[in-house]
Chain A
Amino acid sequence: MAYLSVIVLLPLAAVAVRSVDGGLGGFWRAVSSPEAQSALELTVVLSLIVVAINAVTGTLIAWVLVRDSFRGKGVVNAIIDLPFALPTIVAGLTLLALYGPRSPAGVDVSYARVGVGMALLFVTLPFVVRAVQPVLMELDRDMEDAAVSLGASGWQVFTRIVLPGILPAILSGVALAFARAIGEFGSVVLISGNLPFKTEVASVFIFGRIESDNIPAAAAVSIVLLAASLLLLAAIAGLSRWGRRHEL
């Protein structure tokens, strides 16, 4: 408990205290300043889009990895974890090299929201895949055969039998990916160019405030992100409880 306090609770409390250094009015002013709002909005909206895309592609990848057999499956399976293993700043550099001003592919998404989105897609890819994969493996194949013998088409089997089985896993993967996306810094900071009102995300905004010695503003925006994370944690807990109720 003491350990938990020192490592987790104390720093969080410190940030919370700092955020209201200028009183609640100061907190509100910091959070509602146009630049802060723009950064928060961009972060949340972009994260939602990115997570929605990864919910679909991540489920597809998990499906292919579990149900199909092909050459090099082990390698692909290992590559999925790369965004986890790679230091995020390295990921940012890689993306900048590939899709930056001197892109060998002729695609330049640096200093654009698309670039930020791509960075977020990259770092959050494994969450849904890794959440869905084990559940899909455990899924009772007989259930699908039973549905087929009762007259269900492939699509009906997927939507009525498979999807309800893996939905809690997809959602918990999505929640984790979202939590990661709203706080992502390293991979975004290079490619975004950090243009206020355009590509500046919340984490970079916070960094900027600290650089310019406006700690209460940084802390205030941090608290908003923190609140979003906590909300998500609660959602994850709720989801997994809901999911477990229907397990055998």
Chain B
Amino acid sequence: MSIELSGVRKSFGDFVAVDDVSLEVRDGSLTALLGPSGSGKSTLLRIIAGLEVPDSGRVVIAGADRTDTPARSRDVGFVFQHYAPFKHMTVRDNIAFGLKIRKVPRERIRERVGELLGLVHLEGYAGQYPSQLSGGQRQRMALARALAVEPRVLLLDEPFGALDATVRKELRAWLRRLHDDVHVTTIFVTHDQEEAMEIAEQIVVLNEGRIEQIGAPREVYEHPATEFVMGFVGPVTHIGGSMVRPHDVDIATTPVAGGTEALVERILHLGFEVRVELVTGDGLPVHAQLTRQECEELELREGQIVYIRPNRLLRAVA
């Protein structure tokens, strides 16, 4: 189902968490709300779920104004950063909770729980308690619990934030595949730009309660609308007052037109990628990202004088 927010505002005391946000999310899409902590992304998600009431503005889900609909009647699946498992219930009962509340016949519940256990790869764990599961398993259980009631919308609040790096990577790919299968309109909150890029079809960049940019991952990365977006969605380095992505810095060992003279201070080999730290004539640090092959071809050494030139500048469109 599509989601439309218009003029949504929410403050807690003096702190304005969400400031006049309007946003459209297409039916069946996968959207990331990306921003630093305190940018209002979680609050916005909770407003869509009905767990927070906006001070003003409207929330429209599937064409119907849901602003005044209580959370319990919104048909929204919500997944929390710390999984929020019902600790006193088994995995089976956790997943069945929403169905029991809806008084679904017992036989149907059994079937549905079986399906979901398969979907989240927890077949053998139905009788276990959440405390007996790993973090990744708990989060998959929480997802199954949210999906059990066939929500119109699936909302995930930093779903992988509490997991370690390997599990996080696995679950990201898995969520992406799951969305291809289940096709429920999904919005997830993250402060990790890589995660947003990897999973989402559409990224909404938030800062201080306002939307900075909405766009496809590539668009946001290559054509950032504001300086904030530029800095937040990818690495940035400065050459002569202009901003550039480190992998867009060309290094030459002989003088080139438009090039700036710089001293190679350090060369860091990070596997496939090589990070070169330089300092320009006016003493400003610059860093560049090269492939290992490029670096070998240039025969770069620390202490060498080179000429650097951005091959693509970033410019705030605004």
Task: Please report A residues at the B interface, Cβ cutoff 8 Å.
Answer: 140, 142-143, 145-153, 156, 160-161, 164-165, 245-248
Q: In whole angstroms, what is the CA distance A164 to B260 when docked? A: 68
Instruction: List B contacts of A165 (CB < 8 A).
Output: 87-88
Q: Which residue of A lies closest to B97 (CB)?
A: A150
Instruction: List A contacts of B84 (CB < 8 A).
Output: 140, 142-143, 145-146
- Contact mask for chain B residues 67-99; partner A; CB cutoff 8 A; 1 contact, 0 none: 000011110111010101111100000000110
Contact of A151 among B51, B85, B86, B101 (CB under 8 A): B101
Contact check, B51 vs A161: say whether CB atoms are below 8 A apart: no
Q: How far is the CB of A248 from chain B (nearest CB, A)?
A: 5
Contact of B76 among A140, A142, A149, A245 (CB under 8 A): A149
CB of B125 closer than 8 Å to a CB of A: no
Contact check, B78 vs A247: say whether CB atoms are below 8 A apart: no
> Of residues 37 to 89 in B, which have CB atoms within 8 Å of A's CB atoms?
49-51, 71-74, 76-78, 80, 82, 84-88
Contact check, A149 vs B72: say whether CB atoms are below 8 A apart: yes
Contact check, B78 vs A146: say whether CB atoms are below 8 A apart: yes
> Of residues 177 to 211 in B, which have CB atoms within 8 Å of A's CB atoms?
none
CB of B149 closer than 8 Å to a CB of A: yes
Instruction: List B contacts of A246 (CB < 8 A).
Output: 87-88, 129, 131
Q: Which residue of A lies closest to B155 (CB)?
A: A149
CB of B108 closer than 8 Å to a CB of A: no
Task: Please report B residues at the A interface, Cβ cutoff 8 Å.
Answer: 49-51, 71-74, 76-78, 80, 82, 84-88, 97-98, 101-102, 129-131, 142, 145-146, 148-149
Contact check, B131 vs A248: say whether CB atoms are below 8 A apart: yes
Instruction: List B contacts of A153 (CB < 8 A).
Output: 72
Instruction: List A contacts of B101 (CB < 8 A).
Output: 150-152, 156
Contact check, A148 vs B88: say whether CB atoms are below 8 A apart: no
A143-B86, A161-B86, A248-B131 are contacts. A151–B102 as well, Cβ < 8 Å? yes
Q: In whole angstroms, what is the CA distance A155 to B71 when docked? A: 15
Instruction: List B contacts of A248 (CB < 8 A).
Output: 87, 130-131
Q: In whole angstroms, what is the CA distance A194 to B69 when docked? A: 60
Contact check, A151 vs B130: say whether CB atoms are below 8 A apart: no
Instruction: List A contacts of B85 (CB < 8 A).
Output: 143
Q: Which residue of A lies closest to B101 (CB)?
A: A151
Instruction: List B contacts of A151 (CB < 8 A).
Output: 72-73, 98, 101-102, 149
Contact check, B129 vs A148: say whether CB atoms are below 8 A apart: no
Q: Which residue of A lies closest to B131 (CB)?
A: A248
Q: In whole angstroms, what is the CA distance A248 to B102 when docked? A: 28
Q: How far is the CB of A175 from chain B (nearest CB, A)?
A: 20
Instruction: List A contacts of B88 (CB < 8 A).
Output: 164-165, 246
A145-B80, A147-B97, A151-B72 are contacts. A247–B102 as well, Cβ < 8 Å? no
Q: In whole angstroms, what is the CA distance A246 to B148 when docked? A: 23
Q: How far is the CB of A164 from chain B (nearest CB, A)?
A: 4
A143-B84, A143-B86, A246-B87 are contacts. A148–B102 as well, Cβ < 8 Å? no
Q: What are 8 A-B pairs with beta-carbon distances under 8 A?
A: A146-B86, A149-B76, A150-B98, A151-B101, A152-B101, A164-B88, A165-B88, A246-B129
